[in-house]
Chains A and B, each alone.
Chain A
Amino acid sequence: MISIRGLSKAYATPSGKLQALDGLNLTVEKGDIIGIIGFSGAGKSTLVRCINRLEEPDKGSIAIGDTVLTGLKESQLRQARRKIGMVFQQFNLFEGKTVFHNVAFPLKVAGCDKATIRKRVCEVLELVQLGDKEKAYPSQLSGGQKQRVGIARALVNEPDVLLCDEATSALDPQTTYSILELLRDINRKLELTVVLITHELDVLQHACNNVAVIEQGKIVETGSVDKFFLYPESDTARRFVHIVEHYRKKRFAVEGVGAGI
């Protein structure tokens, strides 16, 4: 579904060139929920922002289905972006618009007629369990509700791919859990391919089928979530899992043989 080849992106910083992505390769199957995990500065945000070309890559190719995004002109890119939903860490809702008009925005800019907009918006608001909030403004919603609006807005165009850039990092654990449930649910119902950028193990554990580990602008490890926790290979994966491992050993020491893994 998503095929990324040799993707590179560098930034000029006051202290010299920063190679955010360095010849990165990644393939995501259709219908997968993949978590891309890495420490701060590993390049994960740059990667997800390159997928819909919010950042312009320096080199490499990105294809979604049969569309090679990296070769598109502005106007074609706008069309292609309508099939790629995006959810943001800071929600990025429009404060001057009601929930309804926030969710309707992608349809309006695509030139849909009013009846279609009403029907689609109501459908997705039901899907994210906010059917009763269409007249509210974002400032009247909780963090979790805001992100549900963000998800509804990203889904309203019936995209093939949903990109989530740290979508739960601004939420408390309970809300994070309910948002992850929602993403799983959507993935099943809509057969949507979901890419989750994260630095939280919780996200992998509760939402993902597969994991890709990013380190210094490269994917250093891919595989199932189970494999990530049981047999971490890369340095980054080991450092993440080490924390879990540390507490498992501690529990083992306290409770003795027979303590659950």
Chain B
Amino acid sequence: MRDDLLELLWEGLRQTLYMLVWSSVFAIVLGLFLGITLVVTEKGGVLEARVVNRIVSLAINSVRSLPFIILIVLLLPFARWVVGTSLGPTAAIVSLSIGAAPFLGRIVESALKEVAVGKIEAAKSFGASPFAIIFRVLLPEALPALVRSLTIAVIAIAELTAVAGAIGAGGLGSLAIRFGYQRFREDIMFATVIVIILLVQAIQWTGDSIAKSIDRRRHRTE
């Protein structure tokens, strides 16, 4: 172990967290929007619009078909346009958000579809508007499932930050490649892996605790 190790690790972790937090926020917002759109516009949905549904679905599938590393390259000009650069963690956030959003859209869609049709019908029968059904029934009823799904998604985004790191985004992934692999620094490789494992555990644990506490509140026995 050499004395630059901690400094490098800290810098890598800081960049990874920066990318992870912001990409997750943007991807979750986009993903919720896509997922809700898919569910409400499908046949029998509260805002049925099958053409919209098909277009959104097609767009999601198209983006998901591309390997992430190719998507980053494709999005470089867009990242430059949005944040003024195509290098570094900030540029990676653009690609990460757009790359992960379609996956989040599908995950949100499947969580929302678990809400029993009967509850939505009940809400309709009391004169609730589509807007009220989405925000007062669909999302709150799916909340534990949503939290669990989003946890999976945030971990997937953490993996993608490492991929982005390989082509110049910085962070732990980049550290492992540049120092651990290319400069044979086994200590850095090893330490990076440990930090990534801890990071993923922390995300999973946080997601599980939130979902569990919601479930416990809803199903507590007196």
A-side residues, CB < 8 A to B, are 52, 54, 78-82, 84-86, 88, 90, 92-97, 105-106, 108-110, 136-137, 139-140, 153-154, 157
Contact = CB atoms under 8 A, between A and B. Distances in A.
A12 to B, nearest CB: 12
B125 A96 contact: no
Q: Which of A92, A110, A137 counts the most B-chain CB atoms under 10 A from its CB?
A: A92
B140 A82 contact: no
Interface string B121-162: 111111111001000110011010000000000000000000
Given A88-B118, A95-B141, A137 B127 contact: no
Contacts of A139: 218-219
Contact of A140 (B118, B124, B127, B222): B222
B119 A92 contact: yes
Nearest to B142: A96
A139 B220 CA distance: 8
B188 to A, nearest CB: 46
A86 B122 contact: yes
B218 A96 contact: yes
B125 A52 contact: yes
B210 interface: no
23 contacts: A54-B121, A54-B125, A78-B127, A80-B127, A81-B124, A82-B126, A85-B126, A86-B126, A90-B116, A90-B118, A93-B122, A94-B119, A94-B140, A95-B141, A95-B218, A96-B218, A105-B126, A106-B128, A108-B132, A139-B219, A140-B220, A153-B122, A154-B126
A108 to B, nearest CB: 7
Nearest to A108: B136
B122 A92 contact: yes
A139 B217 CA distance: 10
B65 interface: no
Given A88-B118, A93-B122, A105-B128, 10 more contacts: A54-B121, A78-B129, A92-B121, A93-B119, A96-B140, A109-B126, A110-B127, A140-B222, A153-B122, A157-B126
B126 A96 contact: no
A85 B121 CA distance: 12
Interface residues of B, number: 25
Interface of B: 116, 118-119, 121-129, 132, 136-137, 140-141, 143, 214, 217-222
A92 B118 contact: yes
A52 B118 CA distance: 15
A243 to B, nearest CB: 30
Nearest to B144: A96
Contacts of B116: 90, 92
A137 B219 contact: yes
A94 B128 contact: no
Q: Which of B122, B128, B136, B140 counts the most A-chain CB atoms under 10 A from its CB?
A: B122
B122 A88 contact: yes
Nearest to B128: A109
A93 B123 CA distance: 10
Given A88-B118, A95-B218, A108-B136, A81 B126 contact: yes
Contact of B125 (A84, A95, A108): A84
Contacts of A54: 121, 124-125
Contacts of B125: 52, 54, 81, 84, 86
A203 B209 CA distance: 46
A109 B129 contact: yes
